[in-house]
Amino acid sequence: MVKLSPKPTTRQPSSTSLRALDTANFFLADVRDGLGPYLAIYLLTTLHWQAQDIGIAMSVMGIATVVAQTPAGVLVDQTRRKRVYSIIASLLIAIAAIITITVPTYSVIIGGQVIMGVAAAWFAPAIAAITLGLVGPRALDKRVGRNETVNHAGNVFSALLAGLLGYYVSTKGIFLLLAAMSILSSLSIWRIQEKDIDHQLARGCQEDDDQANDDKPSGWRAVLGNRSILFFALACVLFHFANAAMLPLLGQRLAQGINAGASSAYMSACIIVAQLVMIPVSYLTGKLAPQGRKRLLLIAFAVLPIRGLLYTLTSDPILLVAIQLLDGIGAGIFGVLSILIVSDLTRGSGLFNTTQGAIATAVGLGASLSNAFAGTLLQHTSYNVAFLTLAALAVVALGVLWFFVPETNHQARQPLPDHA
């Protein structure tokens, strides 16, 4: 079992580092997820790929992330060069975005997605580790909520620009936007002061816990021996398998019979609507998380099957975009709580990022297979069948969370001190 530490630590990093963390999260909004549904629109409307090939291309990045995720988590736990590696990952994504539109062949696009996938694997554990190393576990709830709030604001900003570029210029401009955001995120990460990061806290140790460095406990043994982590990982896999393909499918459905510019504008509207909801939801989740994680996460899981069902009840583009409000609720809650729950389950172990990487590997596998599965299903059936199948899988995910994942915040019913 992963040993929990009873006494979380609070730290006081410099305001310069905290502001840099804000701007890094803002610009990483568009970077860590790659091209996402915009790639599907580009491949469909500009390169005229078949649905099955689009599904494969959309899955490649996820598969590469799956392969790299656990090694990335282990490396984050071991290295003190978190900032340097984060900058390298950002620049690799910028390069991949540019070659995708300059040499748009099948092999180059697939190769670019592999590069993005490997680079993207680094960001989730690295940003979480840097955050934990800056503020400590006691202030982590509010800080992760702030990270996600700023990140979603960045997504709104990039989606607005992407929609304008796609409509008035070209869908290729969206790829250049991704490259620019990558460079800006690199500059922001560099401004985080190294002296403010406690690398022992960043891996889930206590400040005076040197034993974690010497003993090097087995991450796999610790993860596989913890029933709560395993069931949480299973719930997350099913959730993302059901969720990952929904927005790309919606993008393809909205793109039917209209030009690439209008398709990009609709997709931007879908993203903006969801992200605008995620901003207050993430903030409130960070505020409410100390009172208990599970009941909030159940809300996030419950809205997903409802969303999938609603997609089948209308073909009106405006209503389809409006349904994305539910995505904002689910993703806003999940983005905050997934980090906090792993922190709860690994506190004092030195395995925070290793466990994050292992769970992210499983989640990434579910997400990447989701696109390939949905693309193949769509080619042989219809959009409604695809959405209903994904909704049914979301119900299974909700059941696993409800019955098998416990409340991880053991102090949820105790009064908490006011944290700065």
As a whole number of angstroms, the longest Cα–Cα distance in the chain is 62
**Structural domain range at position 353:** 19-209+219-404
**Is 417 part of a structural domain of the chain?**
no
Contacts of 184 by beta carbon, 8 Å cutoff, 6+ apart: 23, 27
pLDDT at residue number 33: 63
The answer to whether residues 98 and 3 touch, using CB atoms and an 8 Å cutoff, is: no
Q: What is the pLDDT, as a whole number, of residue 245? A: 87
Instruction: Report the pLDDT value the prediction gives residue 7, as an integer from 0 to 100.
Output: 53
Dig out the tokens for 153 from the structure.
């604001």
Q: String of b and e for 132-158 (b: at least 16 CB within 10 Å)?
A: bbbbbbbbbbbbbbbbbbbbbbbbbbb
What's residue 280's pLDDT? 93
- In this structure, is residue 416 part of a structural domain? no
In a domain, 223, yes or no: yes
Is 3 within the bounds of a domain?
no
What is the structure's pLDDT at 368? 72
Nearest alpha-carbon partner for 285 in 270, 300, 302: 300
In a domain, 125, yes or no: yes
Q: Is residue 4 part of a domain?
A: no
With contact defined as beta carbons under 8 Å apart, do 113 and 140 qualify?
no
Task: Give the Cβ contact number of residue 310 at 10 Å.
Answer: 16
Q: For residues 361 and 66, is the Cβ–Cβ distance under 8 A?
A: yes
Tell me the residue type at 40: A
Q: What per-residue confidence (pLDDT) applies to 36?
A: 65
pTM summary value = 0.75
- The whole-number mean pLDDT for each consecutive block of 10 residues of the chain, a chain of 420 residues, reads 50 87 87 66 78 78 82 89 93 90 87 89 90 88 90 83 78 85 92 91 67 47 75 92 88 70 72 86 91 92 95 87 90 91 81 83 79 84 90 95 87 45
Exposure pattern of 43-55 as b/e (b: 16+ CB <10 Å)?
bbbeeebebebbb
Q: How many domains does the chain have?
A: 1
pLDDT of res. 270: 81
Domain containing residue 45: CATH number: 1.20.1250.20
What's residue 192's pLDDT? Answer: 94
Q: For residue 37, what pLDDT is reported? A: 66
Decide if 263 is inside a domain. yes
Helices and strands in the chain, H and E counts: 18, 0
Structure confidence at residue 413 (pLDDT): 43
Question: What's the confidence (pLDDT) of residue 307?
Answer: 94
Residue 418 counted as domain residue:
no
